[in-house]
Amino acid sequence: MPGGRHHGREKRAPEASRRSAVTHRQPPVGPRRHEPGGEPLSFGVLRGDAGPTIAAHVPTVAEVLGLDVFREAEAEVVAGQRNLGGRVRWVHIAEMLNVAHLLKGGELLLTTGMGLRGEDPHRQAEYVAELKRAGVAGVVIELGPTLPQVPASVVEAAETEGLPLIVLHRETLYVEITEQVHASIINRQYQLLERADEITHTFTELLIHGVTRGHIVHKLAGLVDNPVVLEDGAHQIIEFAPQSAATASLVEGWHAHSRQAHTSVPGDGLKVRIEQTDPVCAWLPITVRAQPWGRLHMLAINKPLDDLDRLALDRTAAVINLSLLTDQAVVHWSEQARGVLIFDLLKGNYMSGDDVLRRARAAGVDLEALRLAAVVVDLLGLADHMDERGLSELERQQAYGHIAAWVRAALERGHCRGVVAFDGDRVMALVGVKPKDVLKDVLTQVGEQAASRIAERMAGVRVIVGVSQEAAPEAAHRAFKEAREAAQRGRYLTIGSSVHHYGDFGFEDLVLRMTDGPDIARFVEGELGPILEHDARSPVPLLSTLRAYLRSRNVQAAARALNIERRSLYHRLGRITDLLGHGLDDSDDRMRLWLALRSLDILAARPGVSGLGRAAKTAALGEAGKPGAAAE
């Protein structure tokens, strides 16, 4: 390159030289409506076989050629026009032919063609092929004394390779080319960073103001004008936007799309991935404390995705990650506060009623003006359940979290509030019930729902729920003692409800205290022996008939409960009086029979059904699964 030739710009090559250099005539450089194949050219978007993909936020060759410096140099494309959408990452100046190994791709190569002069056509064509393999965006040759015209072999090779080849008909300062191109690149990058900061600020503001993740997803979809989907680790859609007819088919077929490709590559970390699916999808994994949580997807349906979209996706994923961490932190501190409160109540550490309510409020549970009771959920066999499945410590903690969540869900369904925490393998809860509700009925329903959910999810775990009597806040310690005692007594009752109220354990408590001796078993045999012997031999049991009649003291109600006609009931009652040797009209007789039935239930519910005669065991076990066998 002659030393002084770049200090002026007015010197022009002879007309004949300028024209003879163009062996393949092309339209003047500038925006064009269509590419040679008729496909519309969309500047700023790269198109591949799979449709639109992410485009780097740097100018295309065509956009660079629109700069003033190239217009003044009378730039002309002589080959490779179909790839003017390639991106220019940098400008490189080189005269030697052996330059490809120094390039990284995306360069716009400037040269006067000094290295091409005198080379054989084969080497000239190889030079072009090497540049193409190196990923060069385009080659600019300034025509002049060094190279009056571009060799035909170079033009043909460039057209074959699809490498944009541009000639400058006017002498130009290369420093001005590099300044303008690099300024264009840097300005775009700066604009991109500014926009990224705006996006980050926007979503951070949303997070600070406590908006939902659904609101964040809707905001991103509006910003990029394309559908956005947030899914969990099981590919289930959590949020998507916009919620329109256009996205309905996408949502319906989401599993097929989500499970197609979308594979994390080791070492990629939290980078945006691009899947050449239909539609093209940009996505990012969402993790919480290094644990996979889900994915955030952006789909190129309304318009191709560009680098700004990718940055918006990246920033939004970061905000969602932060929101999840914030949620976890809030949950962690709240759970810790609840656990400490329950611990203090169990230990009997002195607290006034106001202290209990204040600390419950600080833990996120307002118990003010509610009727309080303690609830204990015993989980018999939980440790064995976890051991059999070989759960890690993390998995065990997650299981405890699930159980506590199921108890809270049951409280919510019962319109209750509760401070819930674990104490070993049992759940402890200080529960508040609305003043107008019947406390016993509500907590029975809550306990049964929680027990059913836990037993359903954790095979082999026996769930026993103990409920205290109503207590003032300052008496919460006593309430927990009652609930634990109710659950302990409930261990001996295997029939009926899983929920046991301390207030119900008057007679039952007396019987349980006497079950180690023979007295209760003798009492049951003495009162019910003839009926038990009958039921052991007969296909028509009478024990359930006696129970139904004593419960209702009304023939019509008892017949309805047994689903038999009244005359059949009268016949059975007559048979019962014959077996017992006395009628059922005397109140003392009825009381003894009812106490015997309740004692039979308690004895039969104890493990092993010990202490009963053979007939009593058979009858009691036979009644265990029937309506009416449960504790009244």
| Cα–Cα distance for residue pair 461/455, rounded to 1 Å | 6
What the block records as the tokens of 506 is 């008057």
Residue range 320-349: mean pLDDT, rounded:
75
Amino acid (1-letter code) at residue 109: L
Q: What is the pLDDT of residue 265?
A: 57
pLDDT in tens, 83-103: 998 999 899 999 999 999 999
Give the pairing of strands 291-299 and 228-232: antiparallel
Using a 10 angstrom Cβ sphere, with 0-12 exposed, 13-18 middle and 19 or more buried, the burial of residue 384 is exposed
Residue range 602-620: mean pLDDT, rounded:
52
List b or e across 126-143, with b for residues whose CB sees 16 or more CB atoms inside 10 angstroms.
Answer: bbbebbbebebbbbbbbb
Q: What is the pLDDT of residue 609?
A: 46
| Cα radius of gyration rounded to whole Å, the chain | 42
pLDDT in tens, 358-417: 888 878 889 999 999 999 999 999 999 998 988 888 788 888 889 999 999 999 999 999
pLDDT in tens, 435-450: 999 999 999 999 999 9
| Cα–Cα distance for residue pair 511/621, rounded to 1 Å | 18
pLDDT in tens, 274-292: 888 888 899 988 887 777 7
**Structural domains of the chain sorted by starting position, each given as residue range(s) with its CATH number in brackets:** 15-185 (3.40.1390.20), 210-327 (3.30.450.40), 365-505 (3.30.70.270), 512-623 (1.10.10)
pTM: 0.43
DSSP 72-139: HTTEEEEE-GGGTT-B--EEEE--SSTTGGG--SSEEEEE-STTTTT--HHHHHHHHHHHHHTT--EE
Q: What is the pLDDT of residue 415?
A: 94
Is residue 129 very low, low, confident or very high in pLDDT (cuts 50, 70, 90)?
very high
Question: Above 60 in pLDDT, residue 625?
Answer: no
